[in-house]
Amino acid sequence: MKTYVHISIAAASLIFLGQSLAHAQSPSAPDEEPLVQQPPAAAAPKAPVPHDRAPMLGQRGKTKGDPGMLGNPWPKTPEEADKTIANLLAHLATSDDALTAGSIAASIEKLWRLPGGDTVNLLMDRAENETSKMNTELGLKLLDAAVELAPDYAEVWNRRAYVFYRMGNMQAALGDLRRALALEPNHFRALDGMAKILDNLGEKKAALKAYDQLLAIHPQIEGAQEAADELRKSVDGQGI
């Protein structure tokens, strides 16, 4: 059973720390170049899909009519959440329609946020916002705090891996992605990011293995089948 993190007043103070750090930074000009050279866009792992903070357990109204839930009610307990995720993953693995699969995947990602709790998820959202504005160092500080609060929460490792990637630290990104997958082996976003990074680093066999694992979980994920096919040619020595 997954451990669900509860909000504490002391933990909430970390959010105000992040706000103070953000205000302390000097505003950057709109055309200012980032301090860290960014890797090629084609090799980038997908950023976490932005979405509203996931509703807490039992708040089903926020997902009423959500096609990705396939008629499942919003879970009231961690046990119900686990069963719902398992059900949705089974449908995701057999879906032959990209639109339906995308809706199911989005619902799974919302459910994956439940173990984090409000404080940690808010830290993650602030980190994502800062990273999108090229404030990657602040984003990393916020995620460091989130990891300290919820070390058994797969999504926070996945989010920090992306920030490490943006900073060009591929080995740290891979380390965090491995932690995310150790906690949640079906985390298709973490597998997608790992496959792309390994491919970018020239580790073709490892990248292909990651893509094969990814496609077994989410066969309709964009670009993965094509990338795996190209890698297979290279690994098998069949390329031109």
Domain positions in the chain are: 56-112, 115-184, 185-240
Residues 42 and 196: their CA atoms lie apart, in Å, by 9
Determine what percent of the chain falls in helix, strand and coil, rounding each to the nearest 5: 65, 0, 35
Distances (CA, A) of 221 to 51, 73, 156, 214: 18, 25, 21, 8
pLDDT at residue number 5: 40
Residues 137 and 131: their CA atoms lie apart, in Å, by 8
pLDDT at residue number 190: 98
pLDDT at residue number 237: 75
Residues in the chain, pLDDT under 70: 1-65, 238-240
Cβ density class 173-207: b for 16+ within 10 Å, e for less: bbebbebbbebbebbbbbbbbbbbbbbbeeeeebb
CATH no. of 115-184 = 1.25.40.10
pLDDT at residue number 199: 97
